[in-house]
Amino acid sequence: MVIIESYPAAVILCLITMICWGSWANTMKLTGKHWFFQLYYWDYSLGVLIFSLLLAFTLGSHGTGGRPFLEDLSQAESKNLGYALLAGTIFNLSNVLLVTVIDIAGMAIAFPIGVGLALVLGVISGYISKPLGNPSILFTGLACIVAAIILDGMAYSKIPSQGKKSIMKGIVLSILTGIFMGFFYPLLVNSISSTFVVPEAGKLTPYTAIVFFSAGLMASSFLWNYYLMRKPLTGPVISGKDYFTNGTRKDHLVGILGGLIWCLGFSLMTLAAEKAGTAISYGLGQGATMIAVLWGVLVWKEFKRAPSSVNKWLVIMFILYLLGLSLIIIAKQY
């Protein structure tokens, strides 16, 4: 299988993850008004699974190191396959909540609060499981990101078009998103061999783990996403028939594209973890918040109704996020 050989290459892949994870949600906004986010999510889930299988039978089955995908699958212990499936299931709950918040409040709110909190929890748990990097620098970076999350929540509360009930719903759902999203990654890491060149017996290579994670995501959509169709937190009740009758070819393809983009970023982050460390690779990947806020503020104009004073808060938020991410990167060097 193809393996990442150096720390600089791992950081570059994590930065690509940041772009992918900060941009995939744009595809949801490109669908028609008749295409509710729950319907979009079926195609997104399918796109994630398709990409994971393509990756496993290409890069995961060729190369000089590790075990080919099918060989790795045949020797994997069931508990490690279960960890990867469970990680996908837990992540999917957080991600369904994330797209709900995007629908209610927009990308510029969902990502800083939800994904930002997940970044903090994920880096902490990742550092506990694999303590790479200077802790003082690493956790100072996390403190900057926490401050940025608080500023974004304050900015959101100043948008006059939002009622207090809508503001609280968006913030509470974002916090729940972050909590669930922050704890899926340690489960996934626990299923993967700590060394990729000569993988541990019974453990998974990253390619196999990505496939089972994606399978857990797809399967649990029939639980989490179907529940939100029948008991929506926003919008009307949706039936399964709507998926087949209301969508255009473009709607379906855009949703699959969103899943492909997300899974590309997820795969690169997982492959980079051996050289960068799980805390740093996950932390950089979740820096997608900055990208998502740029899309939300500059392209989708999600803060256009906010008073001009909020712009200063958003600038400070960007600075704090950049500083926090920079500290996470250099923490490995000390």
Cα 111 from Cα 114, distance rounded (Å): 5
Tell me the residue type at 270. T
Q: How far apart are CA 104 and CA 301, in angstroms?
A: 14
Distances (CA, A) of 231 to 33, 43, 112, 171, 179: 19, 20, 26, 20, 22
DSSP state of 200: P
Backbone dihedral angles phi then psi of residue 79, each to the nearest 5 degrees: -65, -35
Q: 182 pLDDT band (50/70/90 cuts)? A: confident
The token pair that represents 191 in the structure block: 């299923």
Spatial separation of the C-alpha atoms in residues 179 and 183, rounded to whole Å? 7
pLDDT of residue 279: 78
Could you tell me the residue ranges of all domains in the chain? 7-331
pLDDT of residue 165: 64
Alpha helices, DSSP H only, in 248-309?
249-276, 278-285, 288-294
Tell me what pLDDT residue 162 has: 55
pLDDT tens digits along 9-59: 999 999 999 999 999 999 998 987 789 999 999 999 999 999 999 999 999
Give dist(CA 324, CA 322) in Å, integer: 5
At position 156, the amino acid (one-letter code) is Y
Please give the pLDDT value at position 81. 98
**Mean of pLDDT over the chain:** 90
Q: How much is the average pLDDT of 294-315? A: 87
Q: Taking the CB of residue 104, how many other CB atoms lie within 10 A of it? A: 20
Would you say residue 163 has pLDDT above 70? no
Q: Compute the Cα dihedral for 168, 172, 177, 179 and give only its sign.
A: positive
CA distances from 150 to 303, 306, 316 (A): 16, 17, 11
Q: Which pLDDT does position 118 carry in this prediction?
A: 86
pLDDT single digits (tens) 200-248: 999 999 999 999 999 999 999 999 999 999 999 988 999 999 999 999 9
* pLDDT recorded at residue 164: 58
Q: What is the mean pLDDT of residues 277-301?
A: 85
Q: How many CB atoms lie within 10 A of CB 1?
A: 26
Residue with the two structure tokens 């969103």: 258
